[in-house]
Amino acid sequence: MLNLLLQNPIAFIIFMAGLLMSISIHEFTHCFVTDKLGDPTPRIKGRLTLNPLAHLDPIGTLAIILTGFGWGKAAPYDPYNLKEPVRDAALIAAAGPASNLIIATLLSVLIKFGIGGEFVALFASQLIFINIALALFNLLPVYPLDGGKIMHAVLPYQASLEYEDIMSRYGTIILIMMVFPWVGGQSAVSALLSPVIDVLLKIFL
């Protein structure tokens, strides 16, 4: 990402604008579903908004600028306000990646029907890439990502407790190690997700 900033600042700004918009929708969807499931915590904390500033995580934002992968501020919820805490926590976690895949699908339709012309198609294709990458990245089973919360919800009780203990201690450290490049200038996240992203882009584009 830093190379893009140095080589083409305008492309960097456009990419970051699309990414911040997609992260905002992602986090807003978490908060919206939480609110609909009966927990007013996001509303009380001012997170039920599409304003990117409400959803930016300092470390996650820095990771985005440096590596192209990052995350937003975790959507707050109180499990005691949920009727089915385990099930509802999984639904809340899944809502974010689902919103990104829905955006990618709608933009794919826009491109395939030629709506908006060449410039719109170019910007839409960038947004499709961003939203597919964001959805897949967030589904990795590592805290504080959505995949970690989904994993915690679907594991058997004892296994979920052990998983929660490990991830609450080391999840963020593991994630940071995964997003920053180590060997050959490629991060573990990029090595894992790039082949899947390429396959999905062929479908969506």
Tell me which residues are annotated as active site. 27
Distance CA 181, CA 185 (A): 5
CA distance 132 to 124: 12
List all residues 6 or more positions away from 150 whose beta carbon is below 8 Å from its beta carbon: 90, 93, 94, 139, 141
Cross-strand pairs, 72: 56
